[in-house]
Structure 1
Amino acid sequence: MHALQPLLAAFVPIWALTAVGYLVSRTGLLGEQAELVLGRFVFHVAMPAALFTMLAKAPLGTFANASMLAFATGTLVASLLGWAGARWLFGRAPADRAISGMAAGYVNSANLGIPVAVQVLGDASFVGPVLLFQVLLVTPVILGLLDAGTDGGAGGGADGSAARATRSARVGRMLRLPLRNPIILASALGALCSAVGWHPPAALGQSCQLLGNAGVPTALITLGMSLHGRPSTEGNTLRAEVGLAVVAKNLIQPLVAFAVGSLLLHLTAHQLLAVVICSALPTAQNVFIYARQYGLNTALPRDSVLWSTLLSMITLSAIDWTLAPTSH
């Protein structure tokens, strides 16, 4: 029997910590700058520590398999749909398009994916490759687009030499991105440690682990703080944009993964269930953190995280009931 209660247990911490953040902001307990400071702490300190720790001990070859091809295809289609909608339907700027694409296709694979996988699949072995794929391939692309889209030195010069200088500056900025961005730098260092088989000393590894453990709860509290005192000024436009992101995330991404996995790759029943379940996970709170860090409008990622998380309880249960083997 496929019950909703085991899945509910995985979602409760998300809603609880988000509610704590809302109450903290409503009471003014941490002051006016708390949301900004906590967001910077997650982006610059806690999240890099978590990614380094995870990648340093992860076998990098695990995400090169047929199941990941189905997952990657669903991610690509959903992300492109979010990006295209932001450009042609809602007229968003380039950096906001990157956030829209990420909101539509970047799954909450860590703090929600692991408990859901354990409950539905019996183990979390497929979540590891999903994490590697998002951290090593998707995240650098998104952050590169955000960095380029928020570059203040984009003024076009009147002559060719000025234009060439601008292009050179942009190229140099992009080449330095791994050194300037703590998320990419920590991921690269962790992947390098894994590739060469070097493990950090126990004291350093435990310190990074403790620091990284603060990332997810702090991000959720920051998300909850953003819900207080932030009435939307975009009305129907924002609702339509959030609706597109949620439909792409909760429905289109798992449907594409299912089609590719079943019709083209002929995955086994368990492999197919793992791919579709992970594809149907809701939008990760990282999207909100990145939008806040780059000074973008956080209404879309905030609402996308909340609504996709709420609706995913229904879609994940439906997928489990439909695709799980009878012996599950």
Structure 2
Amino acid sequence: MQMLHVLTHNILPVFSMLALGFVLGRTRKVSRTEAAALNRVAFLVLQPALIFPLIARVDFHAFDLSALAAYATCQVIAFSLSYGIARHVFGREHLEAWLLAMCVIFVNSLLYIWPISLLIYGAGGNLPITAIVAWDASVSFAFFIITTDVMAGDSNARAAVKRVLTNPVLIAIALGTVMNLAALPVPEPVLTAARFAGAGAAPLTLFALGVILSGHALKPSPTILGISGLKLLLFPALVWAALHVAPPPADWNALFVLNAAGPSGAMAFALAMLHGIRTDAIAPVIIWTSTLSLISLAWLA
């Protein structure tokens, strides 16, 4: 009963915005162009507003750095294995294999797992998810932006670094980190404005993503099934095993595994679109992992 309650009261309400966007996109009630505009507004304004107070007020000293290091190590291992499988077993081109492997380790933490964990555990109770959000948004995100830019040949390393430095989400993280470490209080009107705008980040982004993904076929191919399996089974299993070698506090263990079991983030799809890389496998992986993770997330939570 507890699992059913978590599924119906905490997970499905968040997932519903992605599903609604997918349905309205398939029925052509909302166009891809309209969804792209919504997504851009969410990325430029609402997501930074969501993450700035989160980072500015979090207790960095409470982060379990050993657990975070174990999670990052699992990302490296899972990415390497997934890239090799996508490249040499499924025969995908280098850049597509690179982004398919990214789908395995880059979870939709900020806009999907974080609001779900907030509903279940409350403010402050989901600190481990906040730690992963900070890591993935500031390190993993930047790594994939730079490497994909350079390998695609669309820009040199300097241009790629500039793209990172002008990224609104990364700017919000940097500003929040500076204010946090300097113990500078965030003015209450700024917090109020950030909370007001940030509340719309997850639903609007998930809705726009659903519309954009609705234009892709869902038929599972060996590549889609394989990468989805690596995401939903291999990566959580690696994280679970790593955290049982040197166990962190129980809540960190449980929430890190919960995050690892989450669906693939949309950034791989966004990078593929940006650089003209085929998306016929990347997009369905995001859709299938978002759908299939519903039961596993309810069970783990």
Letter in 2 for 1:279: A
The one of 287, 292, 296 aligned to 1:311: 292
Contact 1:43 1:289 in 2 (8 A): no
Q: Distance in 2 between matches of 1:118 and 1:208?
A: 17
Segments of structure 1 that go 5 or more residues without pairing to the other structure are 154-169, 321-328
Structure showing greater radius of gyration is 1
1:191 aligned to 2:177? yes
More displaced 10-residue stretch of structure 1: 112-121 or 25-34 = 112-121
Which residue does the alignment assign to 1:63?
Answer: 63
Q: Secondary structure at the match of 1:246?
A: helix
Question: Alpha carbons of 1:26 and 1:86: their partners in 2 closer, same or farther (altered >3 Å)?
Answer: same
1:255 aligned to 2:237? yes
The one of 205, 220, 228 aligned to 1:246: 228
Contact 1:219 1:289 in 2 (8 A): no
Question: Alpha carbons of 1:121 and 1:25: their partners in 2 closer, same or farther (altered >3 Å)?
Answer: closer
More displaced 10-residue stretch of structure 1: 291-300 or 270-279 = 291-300
Q: Distance in 2 between matches of 1:287 and 1:210?
A: 28
Contact 1:71 1:276 in 2 (8 A): no
Which residue does the alignment assign to 2:283?
Answer: 302
Question: Alpha carbons of 1:215 and 1:274: their partners in 2 closer, same or farther (altered >3 Å)?
Answer: closer
Cα offsets for 1:170-225 (capped at 9, x unmatched): 23224423333333333222222222223443333333333333222122112221
Contact 1:44 1:182 in 2 (8 A): yes
Aligned identity (percent) is: 22
Question: Alpha carbons of 1:266 and 1:32: their partners in 2 closer, same or farther (altered >3 Å)?
Answer: closer
Letter in 1 for 2:236: P
Counterparts of residues 215-230 of structure 1 (less than 5 Å): 215-230=201-216
Which residue does the alignment assign to 1:277?
Answer: 258
Q: Distance in 1 between matches of 2:88 and 2:188?
A: 51
Which residue does the alignment assign to 1:177?
Answer: 163
Aligned residues: 299
More displaced 10-residue stretch of structure 1: 268-277 or 190-199 = 268-277
Q: CA deviation at 1:300?
A: 3.5
Which residue does the alignment assign to 1:323?
Answer: none
Which residue does the alignment assign to 1:77?
Answer: 77
1:44 aligned to 2:44? yes
The one of 141, 144, 152 aligned to 1:142: 144
Contact 1:98 1:145 in 2 (8 A): no
Q: Distance in 2 between matches of 1:294 and 1:61?
A: 39
Q: Distance in 1 between matches of 2:8 and 2:162?
A: 43
Cα offsets for 1:205-255 (capped at 9, x unmatched): 3333333332221221122212444347xx77xx22222222222111121
Cα offsets for 1:135-190 (capped at 9, x unmatched): 2221111222232234425xxxxxxxxxxxxxxxx232244233333333332222
Q: Distance in 2 between matches of 1:149 and 1:72?
A: 23
More displaced 10-residue stretch of structure 1: 118-127 or 214-223 = 118-127
Counterparts of residues 201-220 of structure 1 (less than 5 Å): 201-220=187-206
More displaced 10-residue stretch of structure 1: 134-143 or 288-297 = 288-297
TM-score between both structures, scaled by the size of structure 2: 0.82
Q: Distance in 1 between matches of 2:177 and 2:7?
A: 32
The one of 125, 144, 163 aligned to 2:127: 125
Contact 2:154 2:275 in 1 (8 A): no
Question: Alpha carbons of 1:291 and 1:214: their partners in 2 closer, same or farther (altered >3 Å)?
Answer: farther
Contact 2:134 2:173 in 1 (8 A): no
Q: Distance in 1 between matches of 2:185 and 2:148?
A: 32
Q: CA deviation at 1:112?
A: 3.7
Q: Distance in 1 between matches of 2:102 and 2:153?
A: 19
TM-score between both structures, scaled by the size of structure 1: 0.76
Counterparts of residues 81-120 of structure 1 (less than 5 Å): 81-93=81-93, 95-114=95-114, 116-117=116-117
Contact 2:35 2:212 in 1 (8 A): yes
Contact 1:47 1:215 in 2 (8 A): yes
CA RMSD of aligned residues (A): 3.1
